[in-house]
Amino acid sequence: MRTFIIFALALSFSACGMQNQASMGNSAGSNGMAGPMSTPDVDALPAVVENGITIRDPWARTGTEGDNSAVYMVIENANSDDTLLSVSGAVAAAVELHTVINDNGMMKMIPVEGGIPVLAGATQILKPGSYHIMLIGLTNDLKSGDTFPLALTYANAGQITVSIEVR
């Protein structure tokens, strides 16, 4: 009997995970932030290395035209302290740097003032529940496997264009 209960619980948790993943796609909600974190993809686009900045595993959530999505990546800095000041691209009406804060027990997503720091010799990870790039008002559907460019502007390293993979 105990084995059956454990199996039933495992099956229900597994089903919940599949349901959450299936519901994430185009109906991820107005903030595009629902769903599990992605792990680095072994088939991801090659790293971009420019002016001492290395950008690895840049990816975006799927989304429907007019809705929102989010972009995540790993940024490594081999130079002196820098700051990711802004991001631009034709993929959305607005492309903004955001973070998530705890406001009296309520998690809130807010625009980042002054940019995202990328310290010398360090790695800054843009991920769900933390720093990320918001795509507000998508100009087209974002389907799994699609790619699109974004221009990241740093205080010291300048502008670096990255190809983003949709997952």
Exposed / middle / buried, residue 7 (Cβ in 10 Å: 0-12, 13-18, 19+)? exposed
pLDDT surpassing 90 at residue 42: no
Q: CB of 24 within 8 A of CB of 37? A: no
Spatial separation of the C-alpha atoms in residues 156 and 151, rounded to whole Å:
14
Q: How many CB atoms are located within 10 Å of the residue 149 CB?
A: 12
DSSP secondary structure letter of residue 27: T
Spatial separation of the C-alpha atoms in residues 139 and 99, rounded to whole Å:
23
Handedness of CA 87, 89, 95, 100 (dihedral sign): negative
What is the model's pLDDT at position 127? 97
pLDDT surpassing 50 at residue 6: no
For the chain, the residue count is 167
If phi over 0 gives left and psi between -120 and 50 gives alpha, with beta otherwise, what is residue 104? left
Q: What is the pLDDT of residues 84-143, one digit of tens each?
A: 999 999 999 999 999 999 999 999 999 999 999 999 999 999 999 999 999 999 999 999
Between 13-27, 57-71, 142-156, the lowest mean confidence (pLDDT) is in 13-27
CATH of 2-166 given 3.60.10.10, 2.60.40.1890, 2.40.30.20, 2.40.160.150: 2.60.40.1890
What is the model's pLDDT at position 99? 97
What is the model's pLDDT at position 135? 98
Residue with tokens 């955001």: 98
Domains of the chain by residue range: 2-166
What is the model's pLDDT at position 43? 59
Residues in Cβ contact with 24 at an 8 Å cutoff, skipping those fewer than 6 apart: 34, 35, 36, 61, 62
19, two tokens: 């349901």
**Bridge-partner residues for 160, per DSSP?**
152
130, two tokens: 């933390």
More confident residue, 20 or 113: 113
- Banded pLDDT at 44 (limits 50, 70, 90): low
